[in-house]
Amino acid sequence: MQNPYRGGMIPILGTLVAIGAMTGCSKKEQAKATPEVAVVTLQPERVAITFELPGRTSAYLMAEVHPQVNGIVQKRLFTEGSDVKEGEVLYQIDPRPYQAAFDTAAAALARAEANLPATRKRAERFKELLAVNAVGQQDNDDAAAALKQVEAEVQSLKAGVESARINLGYTRITAPISGRAGKSNVTPGALATAYQGPAFTTIQQLDQVYVDSPQSSAILLGIQRNLAANRYKGGTPEQAKVKLLLEDGTPYPQTGILKFSDVTVDPSTGSLILRMVFPNPRHVLLPGMYVRAIVEEGVAEQAILVPQQGVTRDPKGNAIALVVDGSGKVEQRTLKVDRAIGPRWLVTEGLNAGDRVILEGIQKVRPGVAVKIVPLGAKPAPAAAK
């Protein structure tokens, strides 16, 4: 006998199977729709805060050598490019005219000094005779005046001798400072003119060198604000240590110090000059070299650093980052970034220690979406088989 319920059970079972299949597919689709992201959990770090500036080297001391008397250059007594000592003779100007002038002045002085004792004794004798009325007052006055005249002549001739001696000494042109002499601009036989414009040579002291670097006044204001807010620890910029990178990118082994910052801003460029001093015992740094100075501004004890790939910009240019909150959903944060430190941004506002910043999968998510966190650098999950 045929079961009366058999025909009605078949459609019901088919419906249940279809519903079960749809439910399973819905769960698979939901699992497949949850985007996967890789994050980095932020931890505070102790970071040295630096800023890099271009600069040019210059000699610590520099002196141009000029003649101070006229004459013919007889000799050059140094080797171009060699080190010279202060007081070392560099050039010899023909001394004969100045030697003759000195001898003439010395002879005139000797003649005046020879007349002085007799004139002084005569004035003393007339003074004694005047006391007993043996001579007249006029004769005594004449003798006293003659003495003063001879004394004045002696002083004048002494000054003449000293002037002649100085001019004679100037025929030996000496090094005003110790340092390295450059190329010579004159040769023996050239005519020297006192205080002439072109220097005979230039001496530069290279045991220490200056590095002068222009700095934007806006950067200086930012440094001052950071110091006022006690954001970075370490002294003022004037006490900062400086490292140097040479033209080819090689680090210079010696550490310098920030000597001073200019007090006037150039109105045409909006910048001022920072001057740094570096020891240069091996003369590696030469005047005029292009270098990059890395100035240590201070130390941030609790710095928040975010990889640059996790920071983007909104249409207004504000820095933003996507983080995963405690419920596993995406949250957008607006940031304030100070500067780049290597491949990371130094963030001053918007992120805190423990925040999970999305680094991979940013394009697949938006604020408010639930996400699944996977290890950084993991390959995406394979698509489910149909």
How do residues 265-313 score in pLDDT, each as one tens digit?
888 888 888 889 999 999 999 999 999 998 877 788 889 999 999 999 9
- Nearest in space to 285 (alpha carbons), one of 315, 259, 253: 253
User: What SS3 string covers 187-208?
Assistant: CCCCEECCCCCCCCEEEEEEEE
- The residue extents of the domains of the chain are 35-47+302-374, 67-94+171-198, 96-170
Residues 6+ apart with CB under 8 A from 16: none
Instruction: Identify the H or E element spanning 148.
Output: helix 137-170
What's the CA gap between 255 and 252, in Å, rounded?
A: 8
Share of the chain above pLDDT 70, in %: 84
**Domain 35-47+302-374 -> CATH class:** mainly beta
Q: In this predicted structure, what is the pLDDT of residue 236?
A: 53
pLDDT (0 to 100) of residue 251 = 94
pTM for the model stands at 0.66
Q: Are 161 and 102 in contact (CB under 8 A)?
A: yes
Cα 41 to chain centroid, rounded: 37
pLDDT in tens, 11-69: 544 454 445 545 555 545 555 578 999 999 999 999 888 888 899 999 999 999 999 99
Residues 6+ apart with CB under 8 A from 171: 69, 71, 92, 93, 94, 95, 98
pLDDT at 128: 87
Residues in Cβ contact with 134 at an 8 Å cutoff, skipping those fewer than 6 apart: none
Domain 67-94+171-198: assigned CATH number: 2.40.50.100
Percentage, residues of the chain above pLDDT 90? 61
Q: Sorting pLDDT into bands at 50, 70 and 90, what band is 205?
A: very high
How are beta strands 372-374 and 45-65 bridged, if at all? unpaired
H-helix or E-strand spanning residue 259: strand 256-261
96-170 CATH fold = Helix Hairpins (1.10.287)
Residue with tokens 């006998």: 1
Give residue-wise pLDDT tens across range 209-240.
999 988 887 777 766 666 555 566 655 555 57
Residue 232 has, within 13 A of its CA and on its CB side, a CA count of 22
Average pLDDT on 346-363 reads 92
Which one-letter amino acid corresponds to residue 225?
R
Pick left, alpha or beta for residue 216 (phi over 0 → left; psi -120 to 50 → alpha; otherwise beta).
beta
Q: In whole angstroms, what is the distance from residue 255 CA to residue 293 CA?
A: 10
